[in-house]
Structure 1
Amino acid sequence: MSSMTSAARRSFSARGAATAFAAALLALATACGVAPAAPLAPGTDATRTVATIKGEVQVPVRPQRIVVLNHALAGYLFHLDQPVAAVVPEFTDTEGVAAPAWADQAAAAGTVFLPWPADGFNLEAIAAQRPDLIIAGGLGFPFAQAEQVYDQLSAIAPTVLVPKTLQTWQQQLSFLAGDVFAAPQRYDELRAAYDARVAEVAAAITPPSKPSTVISRASSGKVYVLMDDAGLITLLTELGFEPAPLAQRNGAVPYTPGGDMFEVSPENAGVVLDPATIFVVPFDDPKQTVAALAKDPVLGRLPAFRNGSAFDLPQSALRADYDDTMELIDTIEQRFG
């Protein structure tokens, strides 16, 4: 009679539970009318080990169908020539729209948009795609939701959670290119193009009055300020601006753990937001522009607004990927060149 150690029994049980869960999801998706994708092609079972915040994950060397659970991460995968089978929309409970930078590639690849309810990812729809790899996490809401259902996602396919501590496109792309897809040379190429463009624009523009900061007002009226190490702050510094270290100066912490913004109350806004220049980026409402904030009884009295040194930046600047960042550099060159 054969024997099995307790560790082996636990491993066998875990694999069995994961397989049963994934099978149940796929069956449920089919019953609900979600057509499952075609099975994977043979010969795609070679894997590599990737160290993640959830431990080591065995990912396919040549993935065939990748599901991306953060719209902001999809562009990286297209730059790495990876097969993105499906991606969630940019915002919950909306129709998916491809970013201009990767729309053509998505159309050619047949990439589809998955439903993304505000209360969590649609696991049945994800399972119906028959992914062999799931890329999730990143900044903001997508990380929180993916972390909550990480075990369920891993039961569907190997899942890599991009850490929320990776605040810049450089950190995110370096992790995906180097650690996950073993293509560090592609990161090096894109980073070199970025560095060259930054140097070119920094030499051509005249930054406005110093110091500066970046704020964002939500549709709820809450005002947020970017943390000192946020990606946009890093870019502005490299372009010759002088962002004020407002988080450090005020002992501020992100409004959500691991986030990239802190909240400023109305009664403190006049004291905290004193830099000579303020950049305004919409949060969840594109109407929250400089013109709108200038009418606010508190914000409108800030030095930057009174002196005409408040400037709009596109919503994509807030948590910009590589393509968004390159477009933002063009915008800044046009405005201050």
Structure 2
Amino acid sequence: MRLTRPLIATMLVAGLALTGCSASAGSAESTGSADATRTVTTDYGDVVIPTDAERIVVLNYALAGYLYNLDVPVLATIPEDADATEGEYSEFWAEDAEEDGTEFLPWSVDGFDLEAILALEPDLIIGGGIGFPLFQAEEAYDDLSDIAPTVLVGAGLGTWQDQFAFLAEDVFDRTEEYEAALDAYDDRVAEVKDVITAPAGPVSFLTFTADGTAYALVESIGLPTEFAAVGIEPAPIFAEGDFEVYGGGGDMFELSTEQVGQTITQPSVFVMGFNGETLDVALLQTNPVYAALPAFQSGNAYDLPYWALRGDYDEAMALLDVIEQQFS
């Protein structure tokens, strides 16, 4: 449900009126640490947030894992896919989410359910990231800010390292946790790079929605850069072509059936689903368009788990295991 800013303001005033007596009775007690704040500089302006936020809503499933990594409570998030009837915890943070009692908020292609967010009375909202959730958060930014201080992870933070660092250092002041995680990742990258034999390159990356629509990944953002770190070179498809990124997210672009044959000519290709295990190499091999591609002809088409597409820290670490298993 989309609410206008005047309606949100009216609902907030009504809520304050109902709690006015108890608030004034406890005002002396609440002037201590509960009032401590931090100013966070974002692409959308400076945002004053509580330093010890306890009711945090995360409006991007792909960002929630960072908060669990930092031992920050997550009151609610959105399902991985818009219009999903219900959400499902990631295998990488399910235990933490259960401990927090993290709820799933309604989410559709039309936008966030602002009324449901307001009803949770959050003291901080985290949104943005890569893809459609960023676009929607930008559209609803003023309305969200009327509900609670809202920090958006901007489009310029295109890697999990950038996103994790911003949240750890700028938002939650937990730099040590981030640096320890980064050191562990760098050590693991070095290990994997030393033991694998890279597939024939340069390589391309394809992801498929449930209806079979194909998207290629922009080589300078996200997943392809993870492969570059271990010596698997992404092809400069986007840099050398004439494509438009999808949905304002900046990390992928749609390919028509004709464009697939013209564009995916690399010696190796990686295939994954979008927000689920939609299509794999075996199924694509039955399609003449894909069966004719060089990578499929030579047996150098490889499956990746769908969660690798916009991976967070835990997923990036798990991806290194996948790469090691495939190419060592």
Question: What TM-score, normalized by structure 2, do the two folds share?
Answer: 0.89
Instruction: Identify if the C-alpha distance between structure 1 residues 246 and 74 changes in structure 2 by more than 3 Å, giving closer, same or farther.
Output: same
Give, in whole Å, the separation in 1 of the partners of 2:6 and 2:288: 61
Secondary structure of the 2:243 match is coil
The whole-number CA distance in structure 2 between the counterparts of 1:90 and 1:221 is: 18
Q: Residues 50, 284 of structure 1: CA spacing in aligned structure 2 closer, same or farther, 3 A cutoff?
A: closer
Match of 1:273 in 2: 264
* d(CA) in 2 for partners of 1:86, 1:26: 22
Cα deviations by residue, 1:91-111 (Å, 9 ceiling, x for unpaired): 123212111222111212222
Which residue of 170, 184, 187 maps to 1:193? Answer: 184
The alignment status of 1:156 with 2:150, answered yes or no, reads: no
Q: CA RMSD in A?
A: 2.3
Quick check: 1:21–1:155 contact (8 Å CA) kept in 2?
Answer: no
- Aligned equivalents of 2:56, 2:163: Cα separation in 1: 17
Q: Any conservation in 2 of the 1:26–1:128 contact (CA below 8 Å)?
A: no
> What is the CA-CA distance between 1:24 and the residue it aligns to?
5.5
In the TM superposition, 1:200-211 aligns within 5 A as 200-211=191-202
Deviation larger for 108-117 or 195-204: 108-117
Q: 1:26 to 1:245 in 2, by over 3 A?
A: farther
Residues 121-200 of structure 1 mapped to structure 2, 5 A cutoff: 121-200=112-191
> Structure 1 residues 249 and 20 mapped into 2: Cα distance closer, same or farther (>3 Å)?
same
Aligned to 1:110: 101
**CA displacement, residues 188-215 of structure 1 (integer Å, 9 cap, x when unaligned):** 1111000000100111111211221111
Alignment length, in residue pairs? Answer: 312
Contact 1:25 1:123 in 2 (8 A): no
User: Helix, strand or coil: the match of 1:136?
Assistant: strand
Correspondence for 2:286? 295
Shift of the 291–53 alpha-carbon distance from structure 1 to 2, 3 Å rule, reads same
Deviations, residues 214-238 of structure 1 (Å, cap 9, x unaligned): 1123333332111021211111011
Partner of residue 66, structure 2 = 76
Tell me how far 1:268 sits from its aligned partner: 2.7
SS at match of 1:170: helix
CA distance in 1, matches of 2:60, 2:322: 25
Q: Which residue of 1 aligns with 2:81?
A: 91
Note closer, same or farther for the CA distance 1:215–1:16 as it changes in structure 2 (3 Å cut).
closer
User: 1:227 — aligned with what?
Assistant: 218
- Over 3 Å counting, the alpha-carbon distance change for 1:103 and 1:239 in structure 2 is same
2:57 counterpart letter in structure 1: V
Structure 2 counterpart SS, 1:214? strand
CA distance 1:100–1:25, shift in 2 (3 Å):
farther
Q: How big is each residue's C-alpha offset from its partner over 1:125-149, in whole Å with a ceiling of 9 and x where there is no partner?
A: 1111111100011111111111111
1:16 CA displacement? 9.8
Offset of residue 253 of structure 1: 3.4
Q: Deviations over 1:157-184 (max 9, x none)?
A: 0000111232210011111111111222
Name which of structure 1's ranges 104-113 and 66-75 shifts more when overlaid on structure 2: 104-113
Tell me: CA distance 1:171–1:97, structure 2 relative to 1, closer, same or farther (3 Å): same
Contact 1:25 1:127 in 2 (8 A): no
Once residues 219 and 46 of structure 2 are traced to their aligned partners in structure 1, the CA distance between those partners, rounded to angstroms, is: 31
Distance 1:284 1:219 in 2: 9
Letter in 1 for 2:265: D
Q: Aligned-pair distance for 1:244?
A: 1.0
Q: Report how far residue 79 of structure 1 moved.
A: 1.2
* Structure 1 residue aligned with 2:49: 59
1:50–1:119 distance in 2 versus 1, CA, 3 Å: same
Unaligned segments of structure 2, at least 5 residues: 18-25
- Contact 1:25/1:124 (<8 A) preserved: no
Q: Is the 8 A contact 1:26 1:124 kept in 2?
A: no
CA distance in 2: counterparts of 1:335 and 1:279, whole angstroms:
12
Cα distance in 2 for residues equivalent to 1:125 and 1:16: 16
Query: Which deviates the most, 264-273 or 152-161?
Result: 264-273
Contact kept, 8 Å, 1:68 with 1:84, in 2: the verdict is: yes
2: distance between equivalents of 1:150 and 1:117?
A: 16
Structure-1 residue corresponding to 2:36: 46
